[in-house]
């Protein structure tokens, strides 16, 4: 009875809403997660070559950083509108938009990580016969991982939040529920979806922090020695 009362009273916290709309919440949550994962993955795949180009040809650094920064300043409504003629009303609009937004964070962190690699480490690797590709994958990227992972963490948390904006084209994951709840002033729907979104962001950050620690054990050793 209490559960039905909280729905009738339109309470912010309502267990009955979670129970009766669990399928809807799960569906929205799954969509939210895969859009976030696809966007961040695509962002990483684009950011790495852009960072390498900016580092290899320093004349390209300023234009690359400028373009990624400008992309981040474009309002989501305007960016999605520009992408609609290309992709139509689909999840691709949201994924592409979020990928472009993530570049300003990822490119800068990738570039900062690569720039922080000690030159003597590069010289030592070259002296051992490492070519450019092997030097990149076995020396530079591992040493750049702390900065790289920091960028991935920030981009992921930001993307979890920005995914909700996709509701304007119907592909916003939990943002769809937040939008519907705000339009109908359904308090429990707005609060529940918002809380789940925050939980996703915190969980993703903690997960990536754990991955970072596993991939960079030497940083823990250095702190222990210090």
pLDDT 10s digit of each residue in the chain, 226 long? 444 578 888 888 888 888 888 899 999 999 999 999 999 999 999 999 999 999 888 888 899 999 999 999 999 889 998 999 989 889 999 999 999 999 999 999 999 999 888 888 888 988 888 888 888 888 888 888 999 999 999 999 999 999 999 998 889 999 999 999 999 888 889 999 999 999 999 999 999 999 988 887 766 655 555 5
Query: Any idea what the CATH number is for the domain that residue 42 is in?
Result: 1.10.3720.10
154 domain residue, yes or no:
yes
Cα angle: 178, vertex 179, 180; to 5 degrees: 95
Which domain, by its residues, includes 82?
24-217
- Nearest residue to 55 (alpha-carbon basis) of 130, 122, 10, 5: 122
Q: Which residues of 73-87 are buried (b: 16+ CB within 10 A; e: fewer)?
A: eeebeebbeebeeeb
Domain count, the chain: 1
Residues in the chain: 226
Instruction: Indicate whether 19 belongs to any domain.
Output: no
Whether 4 maps to a domain, the answer reads no
Sign of the torsion formed by the C-alpha atoms of 73, 77, 78 and 83: positive
Residue 46: its pLDDT value, please?
Answer: 95
Three-state DSSP state, 79: helix
Query: Would you say residue 135 lies in a domain?
Result: yes
**Is 17 within a domain?**
no
Could you tell me if residue 99 is inside a domain? yes
In a domain, 143, yes or no: yes
Burial group, residue 140, by CB count within 10 angstroms (0-12, 13-18, 19+): buried
The number of angstroms, rounded, from the C-alpha of 125 to the middle of its chain's C-alpha atoms is 33
> Cα dihedral sign for 89, 90, 92, 95?
positive
Per-residue exposure over 170-196, b if at least 16 CB sit within 10 Å of its own CB, e if not:
ebbbbbbbbbbbeeeebbbbbbbbbeb
Please state whether the predicted TM-score (pTM) of the whole model is above 0.85: yes
Q: What pLDDT score was predicted for residue 2? A: 46
- The answer to whether residue 125 is domain-embedded is yes
């Amino acid at each position: 009875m209490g559960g039905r009362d909280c729905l009738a009273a339109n309470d912010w916290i309502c267990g009955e809403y979670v129970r009766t709309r669990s399928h809807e919440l799960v569906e929205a949550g799954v969509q939210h997660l895969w859009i976030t994962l696809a966007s961040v993955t695509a962002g990483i795949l684009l950011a790495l070559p852009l960072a390498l180009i900016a580092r290899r040809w320093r004349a390209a650094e300023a234009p690359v950083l400028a373009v990624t920064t400008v992309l981040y300043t474009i309002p989501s409504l305007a960016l999605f509108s520009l992408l609609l003629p290309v992709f139509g009303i689909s999840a691709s609009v949201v994924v592409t938009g979020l990928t472009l937004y993530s570049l300003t964070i990822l490119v800068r962190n990738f570039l900062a990580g690569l720039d922080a690699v000690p030159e003597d480490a590069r010289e030592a690797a070259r002296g051992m016969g490492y070519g450019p590709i092997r030097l990149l994958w076995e020396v530079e990227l591992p040493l750049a991982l702390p900065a790289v992972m920091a960028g991935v963490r920030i981009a992921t948390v930001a993307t979890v939040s920005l995914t909700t904006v996709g509701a304007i084209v119907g592909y916003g994951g939990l943002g769809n529920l937040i939008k519907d709840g705000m339009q109908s002033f359904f308090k429990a729907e707005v609060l529940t979806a918002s809380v789940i979104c925050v939980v996703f962001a915190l969980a993703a950050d903690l997960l990536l922090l754990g991955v970072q620690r596993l991939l960079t054990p030497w940083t823990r050793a250095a702190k222990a020695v210090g």
